[in-house]
Amino acid sequence: MVEVKVQSLGIDQGSKTPVVILQELAGERMLPIWIGPAEASAIAMELAGMKYTRPLTHDLAASLIRSLGGSLTRVVITRVQENTYFAELVIQRGMEVFSIDARPSDSIAIALRLAARMFTADDLLSSTPLDVAAADVDEDEPPLSPGEAGGFPSPEHLQEYLKRLNPEDLGRFNP
């Protein structure tokens, strides 16, 4: 297994769908995972440090893990089968360890909220670049990625972007 981090979040220019790109910590290889608009928003909001007064779904899942005495020790993206990615949440409670099947996008959103490490199978990583545009409001604003072009947007910028976001802007999601 190879440890990864969220490298960027954007729109795949070919399919016009949101994609989260994971990058190995000790290298340049990447793992693009196409995700839904709701999961893209959940990941973007956490990366930008935005919090709502009431918990959203991924906040609720993180709260449940903590409240039940568990800790998310890691997320593992295990494989891709017929264009579907598979992941596991590895939760420890006392001496017990639970492995829970989950979608990678949900796993990433929860891992970010709980500051858990993320891993993937070595054979899923690729050196091939992907044509992804940062999901931003306009060209004068920073992108929704931690790239060298300015980092993540401010919470205010992201909030404004999410308010203006039309699901058709992200294209049709085909898992």
Average pLDDT, the chain: 80
Strand partners, 92: 71, 97
pLDDT of residue 4: 97
Grouping H, G, I as helix, E, B as strand and the rest as coil, residue 108 is: helix
pLDDT band at 10 (very low <50, low <70, confident <90, very high): confident
What does residue 98 show for φ and ψ, rounded to 5 degrees? Answer: -115, 140
How do residues 71-94 score in pLDDT, each as one tens digit? Answer: 999 999 999 999 899 999 999 999
Name which residue leads in pLDDT, 53 or 155: 53
Provide the angle, in degrees to the nearest 10, between the axes of the packed helices 37-47 and 155-164. 160
User: What are the chain's domains?
Assistant: 2-163 (3.10.690.10)
Cα separation, 135 vs 6, whole angstroms: 15
Q: Give dist(CA 105, CA 110) in Å, integer.
A: 9
Q: Are 98 and 31 in contact (CB under 8 A)?
A: no
Q: What is the pLDDT of residue 64?
A: 96
Answer whether residue 109 shows pLDDT above 70.
yes
The span from the first CA to the last CA of the chain, in angstroms, equals 24
Q: What is the pLDDT of residue 54?
A: 87
Beta bridge partners of residue 86, listed in sequence order: 79
| pLDDT at site 124 | 93
Dihedral (Cα; 97, 78, 121, 19), 10-degree rounding: -120
